[in-house]
Structure 1
Amino acid sequence: MVVLFIVNEAAGNGKGKKVWRRLQQHLTMNYEVAFTKYEGHGLEIARQWAHGTQTKKLIVIVGGDGTIHEVVSGVVHNDLIVVGVVRAGSGNDFARYFPIFRNAKQIESYLRNELIGISMDVGMIQLGTMQNKLFVNNAGIGFDAYVTKQINKSRLKYYLNKIGLGKLSYAVAVVRGLFSFERFNVTVRTNDQEWYFKEAWFVAMSNQPYFGGGMKISPMSKPDDGKIEVTIVYGISRLKLLLVFATVFFEKHTSFKEITFLQNNHFEIIVDSDKIDSHADGNYIGEIEQGTIIDCTVKQHAWKIMDK
């Protein structure tokens, strides 16, 4: 059985390297390993390794949500590739919902079961004329993307990871961003309905429930139902938004009248403001110009994850 470990040693500010070393000490089967060296390298490795394969193969990712995003992007619609994950990031939203490997023994036990995989969906967004962006967990425009950009620019995440509190970096950035983010107006369309939201904070497009290091923003999301769930937070004060983020860990935010949940297999989102930030799976993907149509769809049975 062919197994490739794709390892991001820099994940979690060095946690990936430690997790891999510990895991490697207990592996007894034959395997290959590739280390990511730069942004996008995980996609390149996975695509090249999977290309032209005629037999089932297992890719085990040692990394965080960003590495998972890259690897899945490289193997979509390849039925012979099964993906497994050993978590080693800081937020680890993927690992909160999807099945993962926790040790070498689980991986080797799984290999004796003929690589049984479960088909999963991915979300896809297109920002105007920009290239399509895939998302495994979620994508978003507005405040969540703004926070993502601030985290990437700050050293705070690095220092929090050093003391094992990396998941708090999102919460800290949220509090900081509350006082600088400018709200926007947005139109959301499905095939037969349209909604207009004033003073929106963000529009989150979810393929699974979690984002931001454990916030269960979209409790009804499932990655195998052929649907994307869209969450819009709008018309709410800065102080009350902080309360929303405090309650989202416990699914209590669903009762707020300023939060709308929509579900469909296709959305069009049009921003009525200029230069709104966007992200896919926590990776900042740029600013959106006013009037840009964001096309969001779901691709069913796009990749396979290991079945525990």
Structure 2
Amino acid sequence: MSLPTTETVFAGSHIDARPTLEAAAFLLDGQSAAIDAVRYATPTLSQGAQQMASAIRAGKSLHYAAAGSSGLMALADASELRGTFGIPTEKIRIHMAGGVPVDGHMPGDTEDDGTAAGQIANEISNGDVVIVLTASGTTPYALAVAHAAQHRGATIIGIANNPGTPLLELADTPVCIPTPPEVVAGSTRLGAGTAQKAALNLMSTLMGVVLGHVYRGEMVNVIADNAKLVQRAIGMVSRITGVSADMAEAAIAQTGGRVKPAILVASGCSPKQALTLLEQHSGQLGPCLSSLSTNRTTTSN
């Protein structure tokens, strides 16, 4: 029986026999090759981003489910969605085999626990999107969650590093990232993990773009909940509208720290008008600003 690619020994690796500096370069080459593999998945990642955005627009939830290193990649991506794009925390669910570790210990046997999916199923609703990750494509925990999601009427985005595996066959959107064998055989926290993190970054960022939470390359739906982000928000409002930093700060204060409506307030709207305009244009800032510009031109004529 042939081994899956993620378990195969990298031919000629012998990283332990190399000088440390040479071994470091060899490791980095492995990471680069893993990132290159993500390019093969960009069509399905784009499709997944659209599905995630549609779920959020419809008031549905995003679920991330994985075990081990894949679970850590899922945790990192899911935990950033509120801060970066303002996705409500109640619309994000993280399901990690054995729970999120708090002491640096991840028991290996939890990935074999398919029964845990029964409890998770109660949190999944029809129309939700469930993002399931497993490097092998065969992890029992991940497959059990995917089956539970299927029965609940959710859309399954399956991410795996081995082609033709059960998760990819089960998923509505199968994302195969064909990473080469690991420099340290079977250590999927290396190349496979890096590729998964890049894939999740790509997909969730595209979701933010589709939802209108990125404008001119800036995160205009950021939750400004610390001093650094408050200053970033002020800078965004000032750059996009051309007003002073003081005027930008005043606009942000009028909108309760929300950047998109603050940009419209700084452009001449009342806070109430800003929210109405954003609703009319599905949260897309560009059309809102174009509408204001058109109205001004019409009024001046």
TM-score by length of structure 1 reads: 0.28
TM-score by length of structure 2 reads: 0.28
Larger % of helix: which? 2
